[in-house]
Structures are given as structure tokens and as C-alpha cells.
């Protein structure tokens, strides 16, 4: 049930763009020159303050999401990751056949409602309106970078979420833990990279990734960034590869329940090492 796992991922935050989300652009390179090539320039003063415009493109700006952005972020994430009808395979088991007798529209409406509720509650629990101290591996807050329309400054065009999670290959939960493990070890993780369909191929995703990678590498001194991507999404896999992300073989594996019961796709767990 592809609609089911897309609703599920909208809550968890899978770092793969829904559909042809436009080039993630050039491989990371900190500074105005590379960001300029991606359609944005960096305001490091804003970065230090954690407020205002962090990056700017021709028709968009990038900043930190606020609570007021959550309704638009919910719609963006659900529409990007839950945009397909349920597809039933030809080798259904008895439980799946029973579920298949329900109207597809009814099931899809249920998943839509569930996804929106889960995404909204998850965002409310994870996000902060200011940049938290991401250099502290005990940090349990997320940063949602948002691309806004330059004219209105209220319309959300795209987003990317920055988190600190344990680099064990597992998908992080929709709700951040109250605390990190005592032994630390949390590492940067990027997820929920999404761009509105009509705004793709304008450098928005590239600018979001550049700012996110820059925050982790240059501002907070991390050496690695992790993310998950659907293995069958050739476009997304290729784009992340061109940015320098490498797969960590064997780090992620689907269980029988994930594959057969939940219909979850096969994922790749990728890592980007800081260039020296």
C-alpha cells in the first residue's frame, strides 16, 4: 500500500524529494560563490543570530520556520510524500485481500487525515523558531529551514529539516526523544526535503541543502551528515550522489513486516563527509 507508507514517511521525514523536485544542484561548497551558483547568497550574520534571512535567491528567501508555518509545512510534506493512490500487488495475502475489499477512496481519506495529524503534531513537538545549539550532541530540537516567496514572505515554497539522531541506519521517529543517549553520539541528519511542484528547478532545493550542510559543517564543526533515500528513486539517488553522499552498505535493511505488511520501499542510508 504505497499511500500508507508515503503517509508514514511524511511523519518520519524521509529525505527524498517527492517526484521530480528539481536538481539538488551543485556539490556542497560553503560561501557566496557556490551558493550564488545555486541561486542564493548566504547571510552569515543572520546565521549567527539564528533569525532573519539565511540565504536568498532570485524569487525566494531561506530562513527558519516558525509555528505559524506549520499548516503550510504539513500540506507541503503530505502532498509531496502522499501523492499516489494505493497500488495493490498481484500476490496479496489473505489480510491484504480483506483490506482490498474496502473502498480505495475511504482508505486514502483515512491515510490523508492520519498523515496530516501525525505531521502536524510531530512538527509542533520538534521545531523551534530559533536555531538551537546544534553543536550540542544532546540537542533534541529540530530546525526546519523554509524557502519563502520573496514578495509575500509568508508563502512557503520548500523546506528541509535538520536533526541530530543516532547514526545507526534506522529511520528516526516522528517525535524527538526527550533526551539523547548518555553516551552521546548523535550526528547530523537531513530529512523532509520538499519543494512545491510549481517551484521546482529554480534552485530552491539546492539552496536549502547548501544552508543545511553549511550549518552542520561550518557553523558547528561536524564531519558527517546522514540521510535516507528511496533506492528506486533514481533521480533523487543521482542528485545526492552528485552532492557527494555515499551509501553505507548494510546500514539499513527492511524487515519482513516492513516489506510485506507495511509495503515500505527499500531505502538507502547515505553519508556525506566534510571536505578537507
For residue 29, being part of any structural domain is answered with yes
- Checking if the pLDDT of 174 tops 90, the result is no
On whether residue 4 sits in a domain, the answer given is no
Q: What is the mean pLDDT of the segment spanning 47-75?
A: 78
Residue pLDDT, tens place only, 182-196: 556 788 999 888 899
Q: Residue 235: inside a domain, yes or no? A: yes
Does 23 reside within a domain? yes
Question: Is residue 265 scored above 90 in pLDDT?
Answer: no
Residue ranges making up the domain that contains 30:
13-68+128-273
With bands split at pLDDT 50, 70 and 90, how would you rate the model's confidence at 133?
low
Residue 5 pLDDT > 60, yes or no?
no
Report pLDDT for 252.
74
The pTM for the full model equals: 0.69
| Domains contained in the chain, number | 1
The reply to whether 263 falls in a domain is yes
Q: What is the CATH number of the domain that holds 171?
A: 3.40.630.30
Most confident of 119-128, 244-253, 255-264: 244-253
pLDDT tens sequence across 193-233? 889 989 988 889 889 999 999 989 988 889 999 999 888 88
* Residue 212 maps to a domain: yes
The more confident residue out of 82 and 191 is: 191
Report yes or no on 93 lying in a domain.
Answer: no
Say whether pLDDT at 91 is over 70: no
Average pLDDT, the chain: 68
Lowest mean pLDDT among 33-37, 164-168, 183-187, 260-264: 33-37
Does residue 83 have a pLDDT over 60?
A: no
Q: Which residue has the higher pLDDT, 20 or 67?
A: 67
pLDDT at 98: 47
Phi-psi region for residue 265, left (φ > 0), alpha (ψ -120 to 50) or beta? beta
Answer yes or no: is 166 within a domain. Answer: yes
Q: Which residues are CB-contacts of 3 (< 8 A; sequence separation ≥ 6)?
A: 82, 84, 85, 86, 107, 108, 111
Amino acid at each position: 500500500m504505497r499511500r500508507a507508507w508515503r503517509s508514514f514517511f511524511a511523519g518520519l521525514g524521509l529525505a527524498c524529494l517527492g517526484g521530480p523536485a528539481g536538481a539538488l544542484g551543485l556539490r556542497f561548497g560553503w560561501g557566496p560563490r557556490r551558493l550564488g551558483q545555486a541561486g542564493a547568497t548566504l547571510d552569515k550574520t543572520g546565521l549567527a543570530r539564528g533569525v532573519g534571512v539565511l540565504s536568498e535567491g532570485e524569487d525566494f528567501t531561506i530562513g527558519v520556520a516558525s509555528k505559524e508555518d506549520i499548516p503550510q509545512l504539513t500540506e507541503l510534506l503530505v502532498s509531496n510524500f502522499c501523492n499516489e493512490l494505493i497500488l495493490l500487488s498481484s500476490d496479496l495475502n489473505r489480510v491484504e485481500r480483506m483490506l482490498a475489499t474496502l473502498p480505495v477512496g475511504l482508505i486514502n481519506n483515512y491515510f490523508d487525515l492520519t498523515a496530516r495529524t501525525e505531521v502536524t503534531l510531530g512538527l509542533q513537538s520538534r521545531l523551534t523558531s530559533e536555531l538551537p545549539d546544534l553543536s550540542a550532541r544532546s540537542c533534541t530540537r529540530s530546525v526546519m529551514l523554509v524557502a519563502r516567496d520573496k514578495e509575500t514572505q509568508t508563502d512557503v515554497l520548500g523546506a528541509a529539516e535538520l536533526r541530530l539522531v543516532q547514526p545507526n541506519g534506522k529511520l528516526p521517529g516522528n517525535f524527538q526523544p526527550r533526551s539523547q543517549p548518555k553516551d552521546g553520539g548523535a550526528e547530523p541528519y537531513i530529512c523532509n526535503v520538499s519543494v512545491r511542484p510549481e517551484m521546482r528547478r529554480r534552485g530552491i532545493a539546492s539552496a536549502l541543502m547548501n544552508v543545511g550542510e553549511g550549518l552542520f559543517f561550518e557553523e558547528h564543526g561536524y564531519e558527517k551528515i546522514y540521510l535516507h533515500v528511496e533506492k528506486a528513486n533514481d533521480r533523487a539517488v543521482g542528485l545526492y550522489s552528485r552532492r557527494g553522499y555515499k551509501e553505507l552498505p548494510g546500514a539499513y535493511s527492511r524487515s519482513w513486516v516492513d516489506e510485506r505488511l507495511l509495503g515500505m520501499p527499500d531505502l538507502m542510508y547515505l553519508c556525506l563527509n566534510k571536505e578537507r
